[in-house]
Amino acid sequence: MSRLRLVLITLGLILFVLVVGLVVATYFFTAATEPVSLPPLPAESVTGNSEVLTGRSAIKELATLSLTPIECTLRFNGDSYSEGTAFSAEGQVRVDALMRNNSVTSLTIIGDVVTLQEGTVMPATSSVANGGVIDTMVSYTCRPWSVDASVFEIASR
């Protein structure tokens, strides 16, 4: 065999090993980034219903998770927020989210109106609301809640 042929075969084998190694590494790195389900909260509530819901959705979809009122613990995967609490009853949602800088952002969704803590009111269909925090994906653990309607009240200026 000529020296050139040996070099080409060696380079081909090295290229093959690199491609297979890249495919295997990609598989393991992407498998490690799959969302992890949160452990459920203790199954206790003042309503006597021990049903616990866990999953992942956008904040605006929390109102449709259950026909009964629920209180949820939220975990955010983004850069802005870390964790939060949500309340949902009769199509209304209140979310208090802890930002990474330790400030709290509160928002209320009632019908088609989104109200932010700063008092900014916008239609839920506006591009600002749809591109904003109501579309943020969260992991949630929810349990039944005895409604305290005051959480949905919007403070006037």
Q: Are 98 and 82 in contact (CB under 8 A)?
A: yes
Say if residue 8 is in the same domain as residue 58: no
Say if residue 17 is in the same domain as residue 60: no
Contacts of residue 49, defined as CB under 8 A and 6 or more positions apart, other chains included, come to 68, 143, 144
Q: What does the alpha-carbon distance between residue 116 and residue 95 come to, in Å, rounded to a whole number?
A: 10
pLDDT tens track for 95-122? 888 877 777 778 888 887 888 764 344 4
Indicate the number of domains in the chain: 2
Please state, rounded to an integer, the average pLDDT across all residues of the chain. Answer: 76
Q: Are 82 and 99 in contact (CB under 8 A)?
A: yes
Q: Is the pLDDT of residue 72 over 90?
A: yes
More confident site: 134 or 16: 16
Say if residue 120 is in the same domain as residue 58: yes
Task: With respect to residue 44, please indicate whether it lies within any of the assigned structural domains.
Answer: no
Say if residue 8 is in the same domain as residue 76: no
Q: Is the pLDDT of residue 45 over 60?
A: no
Q: Which two tokens stand for residue 24?
A: 């295997």
Task: With respect to residue 121, please indicate whether it lies within any of the assigned structural domains.
Answer: yes
Confidence of residue 141 (pLDDT cuts 50, 70, 90): very high
pLDDT at 47: 43
Say if residue 85 is in the same domain as residue 127: yes
- How confident is the model over 135-139, as a mean pLDDT? 86
Say if residue 89 is in the same domain as residue 12: no
**Domain encompassing residue 7:** 1-34
Q: Is the pLDDT of residue 2 over 90?
A: no
Q: Is the pLDDT of residue 92 over 80?
A: yes
